[in-house]
Each structure stands twice: as structure tokens, then as C-alpha cells.
Amino acid sequence: MVPREFSAHCGLLQWHTIFMFDFAAQRDLPTVLLIDDDLVSREVMATVLTLDGFTVHTAVDGPAALDLLAAASFVPGVILMDAQMPGMSGAHLIQQLRSCSQASLYVISASEPPSEVMDAADGFLLKPFNPDSFRSLLQKHEPQAPSAVEDSSAGPVVDPETLAQLREMMPEAAVRQIYAAVVADLFKRLSALELAVAKEDQAEIRRIGHSIKGGCGMAGAIEAAKIGAALEAGVDQLDNNSTHLIELRAAARHLRSMLKTEFPE
């Protein structure tokens, strides 16, 4: 006799696979990496999201997710991770995931996660959730791609004069490469900044802020450079650092969206 749990698992996988092909053409939806150690929760969530049009890849824990990202067989736009898993989890896992992915990262849990996990993530979904809740979270935290000149929520993303000067000096592909490098560097510094804020390491926060201010300033990334300057100048106000961290993460997403809009591949 086939165990009921195994039978149900296979049924979910089969259903998941069938509908994956039916919705594969919906390229406007982000690819999702779902990390959850509970088999039933993982497969139910994957099936529900797939039925709603999302392409979903799953991992049983943090190390498995990091292996998937290192293999680079797909690029997630969103990472959903359970707040509590055996082994690597929580804020430490978030830091590791951000070091190798630029995806938006949302914590999923049946109860409210610890504050350090909430601060490190881009958002939170209470289990069980439905596709409408997930889409609402995406719309809230992933605004429509702003232009290089302005963003309605945070002002200019990139100084238009700097962008124009770069375009006069070099080919469009080279300008795109510069901003791609700025985006990649900014996400790496975000990971280091999260750790520094968690440790209340004022000297490191100041150093990272100074680097962000200088690098983003040279590229005309106004929004990120302004936050970097605030981090450099306001290290004695530790209560503000978590706010600056959230603002900087949003600025990094705005810059990434600008890159996709101004320099489509």
C-alpha cells in the first residue's frame, strides 16, 4: 500500500508540473523561489502560486536554496522563505540570500517573526496566504519601474545631467554596464550593512555609508547616495539605522527598475 502522505505529495507535484506549462507564457510575473522545510506547506503553496500564473522553484532549506542560486539555472524575482527552519534560518539566511540574489525577499510564517527578521526582510506574509495577498504584497513593495529622472515616492533615482553626460561619453552598452555594476555593488553593501546594524557596529555603518555615498554619487544615483550620506553622518542615532536600511533597500530596487526601463536587454 502506498502511504497516504506520499500519494498526496506525488499528486501535488503532478498537478504543479501540469499547470507550470499552462502558465509558463506569463512572463510579466516574477519567478518565485520558495523555501520551506515542511513538505505539505511547500507543495501546497507552490501549487497555489503556480495555478495563479507564477513560475515556482522550491528548496527544502537554506543551504538547498543557496545551492540553487549558485547553480544559476534560473533567476528569481521573489524569494519566499519560512521564518523558522532547522539549521540556517532567520536573519542569517536572509543575509546569505541577499549576497547572491537581487530578488525581493518576503518572510512567511504562521506567527509574527522576530523583529530582526522582519527588519531584514522586504515584507511578511502570514500563513496560510492566498495569491491575492501575495500579489498585494508585490504591488506594495515593488512599485512600477520609475524613469531615470524621477520616482514619485522618493524623488530622482538618477541625476539626469549625469546620465546625459555618460551617454555622450560612451556607448549605451557601456553606460548600462556602469549602472549594472552600481546595482550589484549596492545589494552587496546592503548585506554587509544589515550585519553591521544588527551588531550596532557604528564604525562599520559609517564606513559603508561613506562608500555608498561616494560610489552612487559618482554615478548620479541620487536617492541611494543621499541615504549613504545619512548613514555616514547619523551613526550615533542607532534607532534610525533600521529605517535607513529599509530606505536603502527600496532605493536599490528603484535603481534596478530604472536599469531595466532605461536599458532594456
* pLDDT value at residue 142: 52
* pLDDT value at residue 155: 66
* pLDDT value at residue 16: 42
Question: Which domains, ranges and CATH numbers included, belong to the chain?
Answer: 4-141 (3.40.50.2300), 160-262 (1.20.120.160)
Between helix 202-219 and helix 222-233 the angle, nearest 10°, is: 150
Per-residue burial over 122-161, b if 16 or more Cβ lie within 10 Å, else e, is bbebeeebeeeebeebbeebbbebbebeebeebebbbbee
Whether the CB-CB separation of 131 and 48 falls below 8 Å is answered with yes
* pLDDT value at residue 18: 37
- Say how far apart CA 98 and CA 100 lie, in whole Å: 5
* pLDDT value at residue 246: 79
* Residues 190/194/195/198 CA torsion (nearest 10 deg): 160
Sheet containing strand 56-59, edge to edge, reads 56-59, 32-35, 78-82, 104-109, 123-126
Q: Which of 200, 37, 231, 223 is nearest to 143 (CA)?
A: 223
* pLDDT value at residue 58: 95
pTM of the model: 0.52
* pLDDT value at residue 221: 92
* pLDDT value at residue 4: 40
| pLDDT tens-digit profile, the chain (265 residues) | 434 433 344 444 444 433 443 433 344 678 899 999 988 888 888 888 888 888 999 999 999 999 999 888 888 889 999 988 887 778 889 888 988 887 889 998 888 888 888 878 888 888 878 788 888 877 765 544 444 444 434 467 899 999 999 999 999 999 988 998 898 888 888 878 877 877 788 889 889 999 999 999 999 999 999 999 988 887 555 557 777 877 888 888 888 888 888 887 6
